[in-house]
Amino acid sequence: MPDNWEWFIKNFELLSHIDLTAYKRPQMERRINSFMRSASVPDYKEFISLLKTDANLYRKFLDHITINVSEFFRNANHWEILEKQVIPGLLKNRSELKIWSAGCSTGEEPYSLAMMLKENRVNLTDKILATDLDQEVLAKAAQGIYTAKAAQGIPPAYLARYFTAQGENYQAKDELKNMIKFQRHDLLKDNFNKDFDLILCRNVVIYFTEETKSKLYRRFADAMRPGGVLFIGSTEQIFQARELGLKSVATFFYQKES
Ligand SMILES: C[S@@+](CC[C@H](N)C(=O)[O-])C[C@H]1O[C@@H](n2cnc3c(N)ncnc32)[C@H](O)[C@@H]1O
């Protein structure tokens, strides 16, 4: 039957290379059906042919299913633990850190990191790797321009030091931008680099099935050096941490055993 859910996800993958089987089905199905209703599309077959021909609709649909919301210093108390406890701990054994922000959306997370690292004069082995599935959010991230509302999450002293006002908006200075390498990367399909001291993957896996999450956490564990730390989102937990050789060093921070 060429018009059921399985048919849709297969054809959507051919079009977008995005594998929707890895995402929680009820949530995803609801989001897709509500999008189709609001666009007055009667069935999956028609929807796929529209997605192929209407670039605007395709873009809107991607925005709808990837959920790109982000904030500077999201969950400020966890960033404080990162700054005061986790990073100093990592620097006990290494003079330079290798860092990845996975699922970085429009860049608030890697820019928050860059500011924190600058303030603490932390050296990096390389630029912060900041990746996402979605090219469009990465293009915004690379521009580094944020509305005054988005910039509210930036401490005023940091805003003054690392951003320039541009009309109603704020633009990240080059010294910040030069610390980050934005790159498209699909966590479900692409290879992971190795030897990270710190990986942030926050508010990304919430949409994945339990099986996908487990596989992903294993790959993150493999991508870290012994002693490396994984920083996750405030609604997340790694149930099989021990099995993966990870131990919780603070809530939402998991360290790879040395
Ligand atoms: C809610 S945002 C999280 C942004 C940031 N990490 C934060 O916590 O504020 C989730 C991001 O995950 C990305 N994402 C979803 N599936 C992905 C995948 N398979 N590979 C890489 N990124 C993915 C989305 O495009 C979106 O930008």
Secondary structure of 80-106 in HEC code, one letter for each residue: HHHHHHHHHHHHHHCCEECEEEECCCC
Q: What is the per-residue pLDDT for 45?
A: 94
- Answer whether 19 contacts ligand 1 (Cβ < 6 A): no
Mean pLDDT (the chain, rounded):
95
Percent of the chain with pLDDT over 90: 92
Q: What is the per-residue pLDDT for 131?
A: 98
Question: What are the helix (H) ranges across the chain?
Answer: 5-16, 25-38, 44-53, 55-66, 76-81, 87-93, 108-119, 135-143, 148-151, 156-162, 174-177, 210-223
Helix (H/G/I), strand (E/B), else coil: 11: helix
From atom 13 of ligand 1, which residue's Cα is the shortest distance away?
103
DSSP state of 242: G
* CATH no. for 76-256: 3.40.50.150
Q: What is the per-residue pLDDT for 9?
A: 94
Q: List Cβ neighbours of 161 (8 Å cut-off, separation of 6 or more).
A: 115
Statement: residue 2 has pLDDT above 80: no
Q: What is the per-residue pLDDT for 66?
A: 81
User: What is the rounded average pLDDT of the residues 198-224?
Assistant: 95
Domain spans of the chain, in order of start: 5-66, 76-256
Instruction: State pLDDT tens for residues 52-65.
Output: 999 999 989 988 88
User: What is the rounded average pLDDT of the residues 15-33?
Assistant: 92
pTM (2 decimals)?
Answer: 0.92
Statement: residue 241 has pLDDT above 90: yes
From atom 3 of ligand 1, which residue's Cα is the shortest distance away?
203
Measured CA to CA, the distance from residue 57 to residue 50 in angstroms comes to: 8
The Å distance, Cα 105 to ligand 1 centre, comes to: 6
User: What is the rounded average pLDDT of the residues 7-16?
Assistant: 94
The Å distance, Cα 92 to ligand 1 centre, comes to: 31
Pocket residue to mutate for ligand 1, from 28, 99, 101, 105, most atoms within 8 A of Cβ: 105
User: What is the rounded average pLDDT of the residues 71-96?
Assistant: 97
